[in-house]
Amino acid sequence: MLINDVKIHLLDLGRPRAVRRMFIIPGQTRAQFDRRAHPPEPATAEPELLALIRIQTDAGIEGLCDAFYTFGPARPFAQTWLDAFRHELVGVDPLDREYIYQKLWFANRFNWLHPWMIGYADVALWDIAGKAAGMPVCKLLGRFRDRIPAYVSSGNYPELDAFVELGLRVKALGFKGYKLHSRLGPERDIAVARAVREALGDDLALMHDPVQTYTYPEAVRVGRALEELDYKWLEEPLQEHDLPALTKLCATLDLPIAAGEWVFGGPHIAATMLAQNAADIIRGDAVVSGGITGLMKVAHVAEGWGAPCEVHERGPAFGFAHAHALAAMSNCEYFEFNGVDPAEPSATPLLKQPLKVEDGNVIVPDGPGLGLEPNWDEIERRTVEVL
């Protein structure tokens, strides 16, 4: 079996693409930056597109993956991705995943590409492998469980009540945890954390992620408050290249520090952070870490250090890739849903059956490959271009 074609469908998601701008968080003694999405001007509005990648083989089996992050508009991403990888993939056995992983890892460097780029190809290759074997990907990886406790993450809201209201919905729907993306400055973040704990009680896991916006003294101050409130971890408190400060923070706080989500280097950076005691929990992602292959490498490095590997977001392939990977990890506790309606956290019109959630647990798909059932009629209706 050989790869004989690679295509990308650009799908219209039915909404204008937002304009995202940085701003300085008000009320702080220093310039602390955040980002906010704004509606586009009608005269310049363009549709939000999704890139759906199809890797096809001469055996009639194809693998799918949506480009969950495209670092900007989907069309130039798709053109760049195909220019770099199409000729590296065509003619290669899709089951030679480690060979392809290493090949594309170095192709990233020689093409001056973002390290995330290879992850989408790897996910689609795992889809092919599972379909060829007639087995779900988690079985090929070596399944550890068939359901995964899930938590929901908040956005960053200007008003404290919004964090509480979403948290109450998350708890009522049976999710196992709730993570705050509060980035309002240390003092207001502490106030949000306290209000959420008081409203939700002591029987729900709570986490906090300020997205690398603190200084070291601020992280210590917030971390101490979170310890008193029995939060489960503090995530991305500092710039993740600042390993000395992260090491000092891990030694100072009893609260576990989760880090490594946006530092590129897959298992190599995970090993470096753990060796320097710069993280208690390693974060991974089937995009950022280099596909399912890269994410499993990160998880196994963490396991070797006796550390958890908690995984970022629902991930590519509409959440199915992370469901299979997490099903094969013994050192990952939760599946994260971020930026979703908790009543329908995996809803998409592009699949006949989205990822299933029951009683706050993700049910691991059991169909061949990733288990995706594309709604091809809807995909064709939304396709504006095939590259």
pLDDT at 43 over 80: no
**Helix, strand, coil abundance in the chain, percent, nearest 5:** 40, 20, 40
Residues 97 and 177 in one domain: no
Per-residue pLDDT at 20: 87
Q: Give the rounded percent of residues in the chain with a pLDDT score beyond 70.
A: 100
Q: Considering the domain boundaries, does residue 54 fall inside one?
A: yes
Residue for token pair 């995330």: 116
pLDDT category at 176 given cuts 50, 70, 90 is very high
Quick check: 312 and 137 in contact, CB under 8 A?
A: no
Q: Considering the domain boundaries, does residue 7 fall inside one?
A: yes
Per-residue pLDDT at 26: 86
pLDDT category at 185 given cuts 50, 70, 90 is very high
104 strand-pairing partners? none
Residues 313 and 168 in one domain: yes
Find the CATH number of the domain harbouring 65.
3.30.390.10
Residues 66 and 99 in one domain: yes
* Total count of domains within the chain: 2
3-state class of 47 per DSSP? strand
Q: Considering the domain boundaries, does residue 368 fall inside one?
A: no
Residues 294 and 311 in one domain: yes
Provide the mean pLDDT of the chain.
95
**Rg of the chain in Å (alpha carbons):** 21
State the average pLDDT over residues 244-260: 98
Q: Considering the domain boundaries, does residue 370 fall inside one?
A: no
Find the CATH number of the domain harbouring 325.
3.20.20.120
Residues 76 and 15 in one domain: yes
Q: What's phi and psi for 246, nearest 5 deg?
A: -65, -40
Q: Give the rounded percent of residues in the chain with a pLDDT score beyond 90.
A: 85
Residues 215 and 261 in one domain: yes
Q: What is the pLDDT of residues 341-356, one digit of tens each?
A: 999 999 999 999 999 9
State the average pLDDT over residues 377-385: 98
Residues 327 and 301 in one domain: yes
Reported pTM: 0.96
pLDDT category at 39 given cuts 50, 70, 90 is confident
Angle at alpha carbon of residue 199, lines to 198 and 203, rounded to 5°: 80
Per-residue pLDDT at 138: 98
pLDDT at 44 over 90: no
Residues 42 and 69 in one domain: yes
Q: Considering the domain boundaries, does residue 181 fall inside one?
A: yes
Q: Considering the domain boundaries, does residue 61 fall inside one?
A: yes
State the average pLDDT over residues 246-275: 94
pLDDT at 115 over 90: no
Per-residue pLDDT at 37: 85
Strand bridging mode 257-259 / 205-208: unpaired
**DSSP for residue 18:** P
Q: What is the pLDDT of residues 59-96, one digit of tens each?
A: 999 999 999 888 789 999 999 999 999 999 999 999 99
Q: What is the pLDDT of residues 334-343, one digit of tens each?
A: 999 998 999 9
Residues 382 and 346 in one domain: no
pLDDT at 52 over 80: yes
Residues 242 and 156 in one domain: yes
Measured CA distances, 351 to 47, 124, 262 (Å): 20, 16, 29
Per-residue pLDDT at 143: 98
CB atoms within 10 A of CB 230: 11
State the average pLDDT over residues 20-41: 86
pLDDT at 236 over 90: yes
Q: What is the pLDDT of residues 283-312, one digit of tens each?
A: 999 999 999 999 999 999 999 999 999 999
Residues 149 and 130 in one domain: no
**DSSP for residue 331:** S
Per-residue pLDDT at 119: 94
**Domain of 356?**
139-363
Distance CA 387, CA 380 (A): 14
Angle at alpha carbon of residue 256, lines to 255 and 257, rounded to 5°: 115
Quick check: 314 and 295 in contact, CB under 8 A?
A: no
Residues 241 and 98 in one domain: no
Distance CA 15, CA 95 (A): 37
Per-residue pLDDT at 128: 98
